[in-house]
Structure 1
């Protein structure tokens, strides 16, 4: 882990800065409220949002959670001005450790097809494309969004 990155779980004071980082990294979508996603992740013991601070500034995040068997990681973000310095690797290592400590044997994540840069990053960490097909359904009655 880079010496300048201190990783801890999100606090109330971090929420606005985390949302701003996610927006700067292009991770938010109009149909997902990032503040609501943060609140949901913070509600129970099977999920957390890890925040990496450098010099008092939030520069990296990862939302991590599990169902007891499979772990998932979302909202992996590194400040665009800090990319290429190992912070993404550090926050992913912290997410993997969080899941290992919870006894979860497998980590999965989703990458949008058009995001080749992210796909390459995860492959460099040893992740492989799955043969599974993801299916989705909005339970609140919304129409499907591409």
Structure 2
């Protein structure tokens, strides 16, 4: 950074006022158009949309805003997720027209000073991010792979029938009725996962209100041999699919989970195939998913199902942080 360049002011906000929220989201769109990859995760976008009057005690993030002048447009933004105080995570984005002017470096230095144990996402593993993080002595501690497979044309074969173990049946998710059961199974299935296992009811409801949400594409496998006093069968596994309304040709294996009590019975593969069949039935031509780069078992399963790596996000942290 140039010693002659004035350091930009960085505002820390628990929630974004409406106009600032709009500016931040517009900034993210400009950066995505320039870089070819979205700079912010879905969770961060949802946090940025939550206005101060709708934010509540479940809020566990800090917004960092850099303006062009005192009341000018937003030219830099950062979000720090503090839900795990021992290992916060962050994302940074700078307006493409304002780069190489010290904004990204100032945001990064601010985050590192305030949260020394922070881990920082670089979506798409862009060269500018590599250079910036390396200049502060940060190293890659995690890779998140995006994998893809065709659902139309050559190499798109799927089995006509998916067999479930005896006593198990598949149905569509019931909003409201299934929420608590799903949260419990999700927490058990992803107990060791850095983000997914901490999904809250507010997080779930945020997604249920998104335009892409479709309960018919949220498949639940239940154990019809184990029914509670209210007549509800136990949830054993699920496959939540996602199709963006503005990109209906691409669908996502959004979340696949199996209750630990039902693991080892082939349910992961079966429920994944059920979701892929649903995606193809609604006209999706390509399916994508995200998986940690060190999850060899999951990667091998997805490769057997025809998925190949198509992109990668990386996470950086200080050099003495354990991966």
Per the normalisation by structure 1, the TM-score is 0.77
Aligned to 1:101: 281
Q: Give the one of 168, 171, 178 matched to 1:5.
A: 168
Paired residue total = 136
In 2, the alpha carbon distance for the partners of 1:37 and 1:74 equals 14
2:290 maps to 1:110: yes
Aligned to 2:204: 38
Moved more, 90-99 or 24-33: 24-33
Aligned to 1:29: 195
The structure number with the bigger radius of gyration is: 2
Per the normalisation by structure 2, the TM-score is 0.38
Gaps of 5+ in 2: 1-162, 225-232, 315-323
Q: Look up the SS of the partner of 2:178 in the other structure.
A: helix
Question: Are the aligned partners of 2:251 and 2:286 in contact in 1 as well (CA < 8 Å)?
Answer: yes
In 2, the alpha carbon distance for the partners of 1:41 and 1:126 equals 28
Q: Look up the SS of the partner of 1:75 in the other structure.
A: strand
Matches within 5 A, 1:1-146: 1-2=163-164, 3-11=166-174, 12-26=176-190, 27=193, 29=195, 33-43=199-209, 44=211, 47=214, 48-55=217-224, 56-66=233-243, 67-130=247-310, 132-134=311-313
CA RMSD in angstroms, aligned pairs only:
2.7
Q: Map Cα deviations across residues 61-98 of structure 1 (whole Å, 9 max, x no partner).
A: 11101131111012201111211212112211221111
Gaps of 5+ in 1: 136-146
In the TM superposition, what is the alpha-carbon distance from 1:28 to its structure 2 partner? Answer: 6.4
In 1, the alpha carbon distance for the partners of 2:296 and 2:177 equals 33
Cα 1:34–1:100 change in 2 (3 A) is farther
Q: Map Cα deviations across residues 89-110 of structure 1 (whole Å, 9 max, x no partner).
A: 2211221111111101110000
